[in-house]
């Protein structure tokens, strides 16, 4: 949330000129502590033995502060201390003050009781051997400021504002002043008089330079200081009468840049990666360890085989159900995949990145491979764990240019699933032509392409460009050890038993599997069953048209078509387009049969529409772009071809067997055969039908509009004058043109 400018904030050109040099130096020094790329943790630990004996843990303190906040933080701190003692490590605790998204009140409204008890606990004896760090990424006001005063170090966003602590108080009492003074004096991160000024902006506080130090004092303290030291210069922190002469731009608060310049703020950070780098801790430290707040409830979801719309949808449903019904808070994504559809992988990655990290931890476990776009899913999790010889990235088949462009643009998105990572290495796993270089800055290592280096702006000259880590024409493929070195993997573990032990999981995570509905849908959508459904549907439809009135064939055809489209809809391959194409095709065919006889444009167009709808219903694209999509198109064509073969085979068997089957032979009109057929053919050839006009007979088949009718002992081919006549109806001959007999219902 961007901080709002205060009403009394004024910057004049003359003041900017005077302060530019000092402020620029302070900003540059602060920026030097910020990190752009993931640190090379293994190298740092090898060169710094003390770093290996440090344990970092972070927690997000959601504002405003309540009694529940206090209980949650206490449990987190005590469990972290116990874990550090168990590992005999020096503990660093990072408290990230978080203003919920969508709120513009800077976290105001904290209850003073809890807001005081929490910093009283943080600055007390229980944490005497612990390094505490307050991370302020957004502007905050109100009594939550006390937490910052109670920590050993402060890290802020450059534009974030800290102050106006008394904004929720109508009157600032001496009791409140005493509380702030007491907390500030314990840690001395911010001078006590400055803390009082943040509580009450009307208080007059001076910044005084003596021959030995810089002091921040009230007017009474200024007189006392003058007795002890020679004063070289003095300026008010903020003077409403003369803002240009003030040290700070606003009353009662300061920005991260201003705090860094005055040494109140230890580092400036643009994101959590910067915080970890500034403290020389691994990046994953900034992922809140929920096990310190509540016990792990782990579950496991397998992503094996190609990733497509169905795979992504099922995984999302399983995870959502586990979180909502089982209160799962640790999701293990077991990935063994060569990739599949980049678009579907990006959707799944966005879902994983969107899970509330204060409630759910996601960890990708890669025992064998996460190739191509499957790597995007793994890197969207909070942490990625691999076996040392497992593979991450690299495309087993070449992606289309459209897929590469779409994936790379998604990776570069500042609000996308990978926004907390340097994007060059991730994009290189998809784009074979992207050149990525190993860059160094004051002992830190980062991996950037030329475009990302340009995005660093003022920091670009600080990075020294080294050797290229990618090979032209091949997507980046990393084994576990190198992925750890490049900062893409969090850990490398030999087996899943070590994984359970590393994360202190209470038991082997329960495997989440699809329920019977998903299993049924998967079975119905499989190529073999889908082809069988289409075969039965078209045979039943043909039977209904051949012997109308019974309805069994129409009912069976309807059920089969519904099962086909329903299963593919839940499988993620059918949308309204396919359904509309199918309905339009069937409508054109019926129009050709019943209204416009002959085989014209409606019959041909309707058949093509039905065929297109059935092919598209088995895939998620229209035109294939890569090897995976070509394979899926082949499967779609085989499904439709299998149905066609089945229809022809069943139709041929039906003509041979059904006329002789018990009961069924009574429902079908058997065509004449043998001598009867020869006699009818001879009669139809020689007979003069001119005298038939006005004769009446009965339709022996449905006239739609053509069919057969019996006049006495003669069976004649007839055609109606346009209306459909049901079987058995009495008809009358109205015209005769050679052998063409036109009739209408009597």
**pLDDT digits 0-9 by tens, 502-526:** 888 888 899 988 766 666 767 777 7
Largest CA distance in the chain: 140
Both structure tokens of 722: 């346009």
- Report if residue 600 sits inside a domain: no
Cα dihedral 222, 226, 227, 229 sign: positive
In terms of domains, do 210 and 329 share one?
no
Mark whether 272 and 329 lie in a shared domain: no
Residue that is written with structure tokens 């990190």 in the block: 35
Report which of residues 470 and 31 the model is more confident about: 470
Query: Which of 51-55, 56-60, 348-352, 645-649 is predicted with the least confidence, judged by mean pLDDT?
Result: 51-55
In a domain, 611, yes or no: no
> How much is the pLDDT for 178?
94
Residue whose entry in the numeric block shows the structure tokens 């602590």: 165
- What pLDDT is stored for residue 322 in this prediction? 92
Domain CATH code at residue 738: 2.40.50.140
SS3 letters across 350-385: HHHHHCCCCCCEEEEEECCEECCCHHHHHHCCCEEE
The confidence score (pLDDT) of residue 35 equals 35
Question: How sure is the predictor about 283, in pLDDT bands with cuts at 50, 70 and 90?
Answer: confident
Q: Are residues 709 and 741 part of one domain? A: yes
In this structure, the answer to whether residues 143 and 273 fall within a common structural domain is yes
Residue 43 lies in a domain: yes
Is position 445 within any domain?
no
Q: Measured between alpha carbons, how far is residue 413 from residues 340, 427, 661 in Å?
A: 21, 11, 67
Instruction: Report, as an integer, the average pLDDT of 158-183.
Output: 93
Q: To the nearest whole percent, how much of the chain has pLDDT over 70?
A: 84
What's the pLDDT tens digit per position in 633-649? 777 788 788 778 877 77
pTM of this structure: 0.59
Q: How many domains does the chain have?
A: 5
The pair of structure tokens assigned to 269 is 């950070």
- Residue 546 CB neighbours (<10 A): 14
> In the structure, what pLDDT confidence band is assigned to residue 33 with cuts at 50, 70 and 90?
very low
Report the pLDDT value the prediction gives residue 201, as an integer from 0 to 100.
93
E strand or H helix that includes residue 675? helix 674-686
DSSP output for 460-523? GGGSEEEEE-S-TTS--EEEHHHHHHTTS-SEE-SSHHHHHHHTT-SSPPEEP---HHHHHHHH
- 426 token code pair: 């991730």
Range in 10-14, 157-161, 480-484 the model is least confident about: 10-14
Q: What is the mean pLDDT of residues 40-54?
A: 45
Name 155's bridge partners: 135, 267
- Give yes or no for residue 494 having a pLDDT over 70: yes
- Please determine, for residue 132, whether its predicted confidence score (pLDDT) is greater than 90: yes
Domain of 475, CATH number, reads 3.90.226.10
Whether residue 274 sits in one domain with residue 147:
yes
**What is the pLDDT, as a whole number, of residue 559?**
86
**Of 42-56, 95-109, 379-393, which range is least confident?**
42-56
b/e map of 274-303 (b: 16 or more CB within 10 Å)? Answer: bbbbbbbbbbbbbbbbbbbbeebbbbbbbb
pLDDT band, very low/low/confident/very high, at 2 (cuts 50, 70, 90): very low
Task: Indicate if the pLDDT at residue 193 is higher than 80.
Answer: yes
Specify the range with the lowest mean pLDDT, choosing from 51-60, 100-109, 155-164, 680-689: 680-689
47 and 188 in one domain? yes
Predicted local confidence at residue 665, as pLDDT: 53
Confidence grade of residue 154 (pLDDT, cut at 50, 70, 90): very high
Q: Which of 348, 492, 476, 347 is nearest to 424 (CA)?
A: 476
Position 400 pLDDT exceeds 50: yes
The predicted model gives 138-142 an average pLDDT of 93
Measured CA to CA, the distance from residue 607 to residue 644 in angstroms comes to 13
> 149: domain range?
13-201+247-286
pLDDT in tens, 547-573: 665 577 778 888 888 888 887 777 667
348 and 384 assigned to the same domain = yes
* Per-residue pLDDT at 40 exceeds 80: no
pLDDT (0 to 100) of residue 664: 53
Same domain, 255 and 305: no
Residue 523 confidence (pLDDT): 72
Question: What is the pLDDT at residue 629?
Answer: 66
Q: pLDDT at residue 145 above 70? A: yes
Query: What confidence score (pLDDT) does residue 138 get?
Result: 93
Highest mean pLDDT among 238-252, 276-290, 612-626 belongs to: 238-252
| pLDDT (0 to 100) of residue 666 | 54
Q: Are residues 481 and 521 in the same domain?
A: no
Distance CA 161, CA 183 (A): 20
pLDDT at 585 over 70: yes
User: For the ranges 99-108, 358-367, 598-607, which has the lowest average pLDDT?
Assistant: 598-607
Tell me if the bond preceding 64 is cis, omega within 30° of 0: yes
Is residue 166 included in any domain, yes or no? yes
Q: Are residues 301 and 214 in the same domain?
A: no
Does residue 310 carry a pLDDT above 60? yes
Verify cis geometry, omega within 30 degrees of 0, for the bond prior to 705.
yes
Q: Is the pLDDT of residue 268 over 70?
A: yes
Which of the residue ranges 58-67, 179-188, 546-555, 729-738 would you say has the lowest mean pLDDT? 546-555
Residue 2 belongs to some domain of the structure: no
Same domain for 388 and 426 = yes
User: Is there a domain that residue 187 lies in?
Assistant: yes
Q: Buried b vs exposed e over 433-444: b needs ≥16 C-beta within 10 Å?
A: ebebbbbebeeb
What's the pLDDT at 392? 94
For the chain, what percent of residues have pLDDT higher than 90?
A: 33
Question: What is the rounded (10 degree) CA torsion for 387, 391, 393, 396?
Answer: -150
Q: Give yes or no for a contact between 252 and 162, defined as CB atoms under 8 angstroms apart.
A: no
Q: How far apart are CA 412 and CA 435, in angstroms?
A: 15
Question: Is the pLDDT score of 617 beyond 70?
Answer: yes
- Strands 383-386 and 491-492, sheet pairing: parallel
Q: In the sheet where 437-441 sits, what is the strand order?
A: 444-448, 437-441, 464-468
Strands 437-441 and 444-448: antiparallel
Asked if residue 626 is part of any domain, the answer here is yes
pLDDT of the residue at 550: 58
Among 607, 625, 660, where does a domain finish? 660
> What pLDDT sits at residue 495?
93
pLDDT at 690: 66
- Burial class of residue 370, CB neighbours in 10 A (0-12, 13-18, 19+): buried
Is the pLDDT reported for residue 21 higher than 60? Answer: no
Check residues 292 and 214 and name the one with the higher pLDDT.
214
Condensed to tens digits (0 to 9), the pLDDT of residues 423-470 reads 999 999 999 999 999 998 877 788 999 999 888 887 778 888 999 999
The pLDDT tens digits of the residues spanning 346-388 come to 999 999 988 887 789 999 999 999 999 999 999 999 889 999 9
> What's the mean pLDDT in 99-110?
81
Predicted confidence (pLDDT) per residue in 618-631, tens digit: 777 777 766 666 76
- The reported pLDDT for the residue numbered 424 is 92
Q: What is the mean pLDDT of the chain?
A: 81
Question: Do 682 and 542 share a structural domain?
Answer: no
**What are the Cα distances from residue 667, in Å, to 184, 187, 552, 658?**
97, 96, 12, 10
pLDDT category at 501 given cuts 50, 70, 90 is confident
3-state secondary structure of 112: helix
Distances (CA, A) of 658 to 536, 552, 716: 15, 15, 25
**Distance from C-alpha of 242 to C-alpha of 621, rounded to nearest angstrom:** 66
């Amino acid at each position: 949330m961007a901080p709002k400018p205060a009403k009394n904030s004024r910057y004049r050109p003359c003041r900017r000129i005077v302060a530019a040099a000092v402020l620029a130096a302070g900003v540059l020094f602060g920026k030097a502590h910020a990190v752009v790329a993931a640190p090379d943790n293994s190298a740092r630990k090898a060169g710094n033995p003390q770093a290996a004996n440090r344990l970092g843990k972070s927690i997000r303190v959601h504002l405003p502060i309540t009694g529940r906040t206090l209980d949650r933080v206490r449990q987190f701190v005590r469990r972290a201390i116990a874990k550090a003692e168990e590992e005999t490590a020096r503990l660093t605790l990072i408290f990230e003050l978080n203003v919920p998204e969508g709120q513009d009140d800077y976290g105001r409204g904290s209850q003073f009781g809890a807001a005081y008890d929490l910093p009283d606990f943080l600055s007390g004896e229980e944490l005497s051997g612990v390094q505490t760090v307050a991370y302020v990424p957004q502007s905050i006001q109100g009594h939550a400021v006390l937490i910052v005063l109670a920590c050993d170090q402060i890290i802020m966003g450059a534009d974030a504002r800290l102050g106006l602590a008394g904004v929720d108080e109508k009157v600032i009492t001496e009791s409140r002043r005493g509380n702030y003074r007491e907390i500030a004096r314990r840690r001395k991160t911010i001078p006590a008089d400055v803390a009082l000024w943040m509580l009450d902006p009307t208080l007059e506080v001076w910044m005084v330079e003596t021959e030995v130090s810089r002091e921040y004092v009230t007017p009474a303290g200024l007189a006392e200081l003058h007795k002890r030291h020679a004063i070289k210069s003095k300026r008010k922190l903020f003077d409403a009468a003369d803002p240009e002469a003030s040290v700070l731009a606003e009353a009662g608060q300061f920005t991260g840049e201003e705090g860094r310049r005055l040494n109140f703020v230890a580092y400036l950070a643009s994101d959590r990666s910067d915080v970890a780098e500034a403290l020389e801790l691994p990046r994953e430290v900034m992922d809140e360890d929920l096990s310190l707040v509540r016990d792990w409830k782990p579950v496991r979801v397998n992503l094996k085989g190609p990733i497509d719309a169905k795979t992504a949808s099922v995984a999302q449903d399983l995870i959502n159900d586990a979180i909502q019904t089982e209160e799962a808070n640790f999701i293990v994504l077991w990935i063994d995949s060569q990739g599949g559809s980049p678009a579907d992988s990006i959707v799944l990655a966005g879902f994983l990145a969107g899970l509330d990290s204060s409630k759910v931890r996601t960890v990708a476990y890669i025992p064998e491979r996460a190739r191509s776009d499957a790597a995007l899913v793994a890197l969207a999790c909070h942490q990625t764990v691999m076996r040392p010889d497992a593979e991450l990235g690299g495309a087993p088949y070449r992606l289309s240019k459209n897929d590469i462009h779409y994936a790379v643009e998604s990776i570069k998105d500042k609000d996308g699933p990978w926004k907390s990572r340097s994007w060059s290495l991730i994009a290189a796993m998809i784009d074979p032509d992207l050149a990525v270089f190993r860059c160094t800055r004051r002992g830190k290592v980062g991996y950037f392409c030329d475009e990302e280096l340009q995005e660093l702006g003022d920091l670009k000259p600080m990075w020294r460009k080294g050797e290229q880590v990618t090979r032209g024409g091949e997507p980046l493929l990393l084994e576990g050890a190198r992925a750890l070195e490049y900062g893409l993997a969090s850990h490398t573990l030999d087996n899943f038993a070590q994984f359970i032990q590393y994360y202190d999981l209470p038991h082997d995570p329960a495997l989440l599997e699809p329920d019977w509905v998903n299993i049924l849908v998967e079975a119905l959508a499989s190529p073999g069953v889908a082809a069988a459904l289409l075969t039965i549907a078209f045979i039943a439809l043909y039977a209904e048209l051949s012997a109308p009135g019974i309805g069994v064939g129409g009912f069976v055809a309807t059920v089969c078509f519904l099962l086909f489209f329903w299963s593919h809809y839940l499988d993620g391959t059918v949308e309204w387009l396919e359904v509309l194409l199918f309905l339009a095709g069937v409508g054109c065919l019926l129009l050709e049969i019943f209204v416009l006889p002959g085989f014209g444009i409606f019959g041909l167009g309707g058949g093509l529409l039905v065929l297109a709808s059935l092919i598209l219903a088995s895939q998620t694209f229209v035109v294939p772009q890569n090897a995976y999509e070509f394979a899926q198109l082949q499967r779609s064509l085989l499904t439709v071809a299998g149905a066609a073969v089945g229809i022809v085979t069943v139709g041929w068997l039906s003509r041979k067997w059904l006329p002789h089957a018990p009961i069924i032979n009574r429902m079908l009109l058997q065509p004449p055969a043998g001598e009867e057929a020869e006699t009818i053919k001879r009669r139809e050839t020689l007979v003069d039908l001119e005298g038939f006009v006005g004769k009446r007979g009965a339709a022996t088949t449905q006239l739609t509009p053509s069919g057969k009718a019996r006049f006495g002992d003669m069976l004649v081919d007839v055609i109606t004058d346009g209306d459909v006549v049901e079987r058995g109806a009495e008809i009358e001959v109205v015209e005769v043109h050679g052998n063409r007999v036109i009739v209408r219902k009597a």
